Structure 1
């Protein structure tokens, strides 16, 4: 049978228990369709890039599935009918990933690095710590910039034209 990775985003106002119930219901659809859910991961309540149906955050869940295409079609049909699911995506893969997904490894790493101040690494903190200039450490000073000349119409701005 083919392998799939399925990720869905659930509304932010759902409790974690409700998201788990949704996941169990979707897993049952797969098992009823002669497939199996090899792994499911709850990635947590995360911010999304843009509002979806007035939600700024969503619960992320990933399912690793080994099932026939008909079971996946039924799963997507049921998810499309659910008002609790904002978005979903199913991708066919050659093989299922062993161990935790990249998102889970990233969250584990950030938790481990939390005592050090996050994953900023060697970059340092915000402004002033490196070369006393803040974010633009390699930008020229103001004195190195070209002079501004008045425009012909009397407005401010513009640069002096180069001599030909």
Structure 2
């Protein structure tokens, strides 16, 4: 088992309820993949460093989790096919 963190940015056009539903969706993907979630940190709406698809704000969420090496690939796939995710990254934490 390895430690990972992921941060993703959701579209500012979403309302707070949709943002929370998406966070729960991604938490479910992580937990159903056999991982344990250590921390979920919702940062709220923040200004982006640069525009993405003509959008200058987004809802940021950071999740720390422990899993096997196959889960980040599946999580990446789900981030890519989910509408409204502007950017995402999954990083393996140093031991």
Instruction: Indicate the SS of the match to 1:58.
Output: strand
Q: Specify the alignment match of 1:91 in structure 2.
A: 91
Rounded Cα–Cα distance in structure 2 between residues aligned with 1:53 and 1:89:
17
Q: What are structure 2's unaligned runs of at least 5 residues?
A: none
Q: What are structure 1's unaligned runs of at least 5 residues?
A: 96-164
The number of equivalent residue pairs is 95
- Name which one, 1 or 2, has greater alpha-carbon Rg: 1
> Given the alignment of the two structures, is residue 20 of structure 1 paired with residue 24 of structure 2, yes or no?
no
Instruction: Indicate the SS of the match to 1:69.
Output: coil
Q: Which has the higher contact order (CA 8 A, sep 6+)?
A: 2
Rounded Cα–Cα distance in structure 2 between residues aligned with 1:26 and 1:61:
10
TM-superposed CA distance for 1:17, in Å, is 1.7
Aligned counterparts, 1:110-149, within 5 A: none
Rounded Cα–Cα distance in structure 2 between residues aligned with 1:68 and 1:19:
27
Q: Structure 2-normalised TM-score? A: 0.93
The Cα offsets for residues 36-81 of structure 1, whole Å up to 9 and x where unpaired, read as 1111111010011211112110000000011112111111100000
More strand by share: 2
Q: Specify the alignment match of 2:58 in structure 1.
A: 58
Aligned-residue CA RMSD (Å): 1.1
TM-superposed CA distance for 1:16, in Å, is 1.7
TM-superposed CA distance for 1:12, in Å, is 0.7
Instruction: Indicate the SS of the match to 1:14.
Output: coil
